[in-house]
Amino acid sequence: MATVQESIDVAVPVTTAYNQWTQFESFPHFMGGVESVVQQDDTHLRWTTSVAGQTREFDTVITEQLPDQRIAWTSLDGVEHAGVVTFESLGAGETRVNVEFQWNPESATEKIGAAFGADNAQVKSDLKKFKEFVENHGATGAWRGEVDPGPVGTTF
């Protein structure tokens, strides 16, 4: 399993950063390789990605969601992965966004890329684009509901 951990400070209140992150269908605006995300219901997402000429479709489920604090997910099919995004208030107008996930690279290209940190570099770039997006546009929507992880909890 490969592990990715990246953080960025954004100059918006924690509620604004969190609210924008809940707008999953906007991810193609700031995530490289993400062609589309379709939110099927409160917890299920259908992703289409294109990386290194390879298009993939897969489903994820949100396993935990606490407004202004965290969103955790796991894959249901496709490449095995799970992770969490947390939001830390650094004051009235600044938030630290932390992304951590684990994934199981399958192809030789994915394994080589993970070994050389390409996945970390992509997430770092995506977070910079998220910062620009949310600082320039604010939140384009919000979902303030909670998803309870239940008695088992999440990996992260």
Residue predicted with more confidence, 87 or 152: 87
Residue predicted with more confidence, 141 or 109: 141
Contact criterion met (CB below 8 Å) for 73 and 58? no
CA 71 from centroid of its chain's CA atoms: 8
Checking if the pLDDT of 117 tops 70, the result is no
What is the pLDDT of the chain when averaged over all its residues?
Answer: 89
- In the chain, the domains with their CATH numbers are 2-137 (3.30.530.20)
pLDDT at 129: 96
